[in-house]
Structure 1
Amino acid sequence: MASRPNLSDIARQLGVSVATVSNALSGKGRVSRELGDAIRRKAEELGYIPSVAGRALSTGRSNVLGLVLADINQPLFPQFALNIEEAAGELGYGVLIGNSRGDPQEQERAIRRLIERGADGIVVVPRYDTRVTGHRWPIAVIDSPSSPDNTVSADHFNGGVAIGRHLRDLGHENVVIVGLYSGSNVQKDRVAGIKAAFDDRDLPIVWIQELERERGQNCPLGLVDFVKDGATAFACVSDLHALRAVTELQQAGIAVPGDVSVTGFDDLGWAGVVAPAITTMRMDMKRIAHLAIRHILHQLDANKHEAPEELAELSGGVPMELIIRQSSGPAPRARSNTDLAAVHARSE
């Protein structure tokens, strides 16, 4: 296999020093425009690719950032990875990914591995209620504003308020919340926001993890019983839970949104193409990713990269956007007093 061209090859062909070539390609030192252009053309002609390892030796920086995700198998986290990679790439950084697989200890190991591999800084999307502390390394944490170590996040509480108000404006008063894990700060903030839209009423909550611990993985959530007791909407704190709710209801002969409404969170890639398309809250992942990367760069070199002023302004989180689709509609009583007896009969 032929070796890839290096600075010496370019210098030899142009009859200049290696230092001159290095200065021209790095933008450092005094090199005339004409010679600089010639060197860059020759580098492109030869297919020269800068050595990251060599640059790291001279600058003390790898120009690589780490990203630790809570569980890459969950569809939300690859979306985070895409946005972090794009934001880092725009600033000349590559990204190495670590996956904690939902294990707090593995999360710490993933952070250490990325530090050992020379990552200049690390963005962490932590597992549930874990904390990211004790690392003398530039780190940005994407979590919930209520998390003690949070750097930047979506405004999950006001996202919950928006989805709750949407349901209330449609005439829904008997609303059931569906979440996964009561220990998650993100989910607790979303739940608190939904309740706030209903004047902090004690709305019923189905915690999937607790239910599955009692009844087994992928057990029915018992949503049909809530409908029989008068529930007209299910406010889910994730699109995944919303899809599970829609499936369970439809299998019981309950129409969504004809009989009950279902809403989600996150606007996952498929949320707009399933039937019915899911009404949800969309996170501004691009903005969150840019703020996290800029925070890392500020920690690396505060003289060159100012701390994002937006972080102080957004102490409550980056605003979310309500996306109204087919899965939410007027409450049955707002539809000319639709008779729920028919719903009960279909679900029997």
Structure 2
Amino acid sequence: MAEVGIRDVAALAGVSITTVSNALNRPELVSRAAAQRVEEAARTLGYVPNIAARQLRAGRSTVIGMAVINITNPFFSEVVLGAEESAEAAGYSVFVGNSYDSQDRETRYLDLFDRQRLDGVLLAPLSDDLSALDRFAKRDVPVVLVDRVDPTGRHPSVSLDDVHGGRLATEHVLAGGARRVAFVGGPTGVAQMRDRLAGCRAAVEASDASLQVIETSTLSVRLGREIGMRIAAMPPGERPDAVVGGNDEVALGILHSLVSEGIDVPGEVAIIGYDDIDFAAASIVPLTSIRQPSHEMGRRAAQLLLDAMASGEPASSVRFEPALMPRQSTRPA
């Protein structure tokens, strides 16, 4: 079946194509009777305006693109919800792309945002290589990074001090008596993981404890369970007495495996996560975590982008501070 077009609406309404266009886009230019005929004809034919073509002619889309590392991670889900809150208040929609830990997928989404001529871009990037964003700068399309600082300083960002967060987490388990600390996270190609590990390492080096690094290719509950089983199988004298998780999901997986194997958490192994997702407090042993204000980070990132789109001026970066949320999975100092 052929797609109904503006010519069909004009023919049925008995008006010109220009009248139909004005009735749909600038109704103040046509008479009330003509507007009613156009509306009735469009409804009869089931006509749907070609939004993409209209946006192309207008040179704007009222849509911003947003690509995140992994939307199945509740942290990024909250970031997206925060961004949508700001965008919708300003009359914009958010086109969300899930990179799913794949650089190729991230690149494809950026290509799509460019082809669709979206008005702005929010990006939680996988790597430090941000050259794929150059195309947007050439068209004066603003970009704001989320949960990452641009090492070149070209792109504004909304981020968290992850070095401080990693150190805060590790100092907490050390204060509870831990002396064999394991950091579980990765990949270290992701700047957030490098920073959290750097903070963890700095805290351990300032103490008499030891550090074991278990690098992962991703962060998930399933992978955490596998690592937890490996930790549980270690002799008690060699087993870490504290685990610092790169995020809450991997920490929760480790926690559940240890508990299922009869290992006392936190008596034998203290566990702390990162992000403070909703599931952390609801775990079988409530999980201590480093809190990121995920919803607020998304909201502020979108607001910075919208301000840059409206003013044409580059936005200023925002950096949040992490907060310790102590619960029963770690020992008190």
**Higher relative contact order, chain-length normalized (CA < 8 Å, sep 6+):** 2
1:278 aligned residue (287, 304, 316): 287
- Number of residue pairs the alignment of both structures matches: 286
Aligned partner of residue 152 in structure 1, secondary structure: strand
Residue number in structure 2 paired with 1:239: 248
Hey, what does 2:147 align to over in structure 1?
143
TM-score normalised by L of structure 2 = 0.73
Question: How far did 1:230 drift?
Answer: 5.7
> Quick one: which amino acid aligns to residue 272 of structure 1?
A
Using the TM superposition, give the Cα deviation of residue 147 of structure 1 relative to its aligned residue in structure 2, in angstroms.
4.5
Return closer, same or farther for 1:147/1:162 CA change in 2, 3 Å cut-off.
same
The verdict on how the C-alpha distance between 1:219 and 1:169 changes in structure 2, with shifts beyond 3 A counting, is closer
Within 5 Å, give how 1:24-43 maps onto structure 2. none
Question: Once the 2 structures are TM-superposed, how far is the Cα of residue 237 of structure 1 from its aligned partner?
Answer: 1.3
> What do the CA deviations read for 1:26-81 (whole angstroms, capped 9, x no partner)?
xxxxxxxxxxxxxxxxxxxxxxxx99779847853221111112223333322221
Q: 1:186 aligns with which of 167, 189, 192?
A: 192
Q: SS at the partner of 2:331?
A: coil
The percentage of counterpart residues that share the same residue type is 26
Partner amino acid, structure 1, of 2:211: L
Within the alignment, does 1:229 sit opposite 2:235 as a pair? no
Tell me the TM-score normalised to structure 1 length: 0.70
| Shift, 1:298, TM fit | 4.2
List gaps (5 residues or longer) in structure 2: 1-8, 10-20, 33-48
**Matches of 1:144 and 1:227 in 2, distance apart?**
38
Change (3 A) 1:166 1:53: same
The 1:7–1:257 alpha-carbon spacing in structure 2 relative to 1, beyond 3 Å, is farther
SS of 2:280's partner is coil
Aligned to 2:325: 323
What is the rounded CA distance, in whole Å, between the counterparts of 1:233 and 1:155 in structure 2?
22
Structure 1 position 293 matched with structure 2 position 302? yes
Q: Distance in 1 between matches of 2:163 and 2:235?
A: 25
Q: Which amino acid aligns with 2:68?
A: L
- Unpaired runs of 5+ residues, structure 1, are 22-49, 211-215, 332-348
Aligned to 1:166: 172
Provide closer, same or farther for how the CA distance between residues 76 and 183 of structure 1 changes in structure 2, counting only shifts above 3 A.
same
Which one-letter code corresponds to 1:91 in the other structure? A
Contact 2:305–2:315 (8 Å) recurs in 1? no
Contact 1:66 1:119 in 2 (8 A): yes
Letter of the structure 2 residue corresponding to residue 120 of structure 1: D
Pick closer, same or farther for the CA change 1:191–1:150 going to 2, 3 Å: farther
Q: Which residue of the partner structure matches residue 71 of structure 2?
A: 72
- CA shift in 2, pair 1:75/1:129, >3 Å: farther
Q: 1:58-110: per-residue Cα shift (whole Å, max 9, x none)?
A: 85322111111222333332222111111211222111112223221221111
Equivalent pair of 1:181/1:208 in contact (CA under 8 Å): yes
* SS across alignment from 1:108: helix
Q: CA deviation at 1:275?
A: 1.0
Local SS of the residue matching 1:245: helix
Q: Could you say which structure has the higher strand fraction?
A: 2
1:18 maps to amino acid: L
Taking a change above 3 Å as real, the CA distance of residues 192 and 268 of structure 1, as seen in their structure-2 partners, is same
Deviation at 1:199, TM superposition (A): 3.5
Question: How do residues 205-220 of structure 1 correspond to structure 2 at under 5 angstroms?
Answer: 205-209=213-217, 219-220=226-227
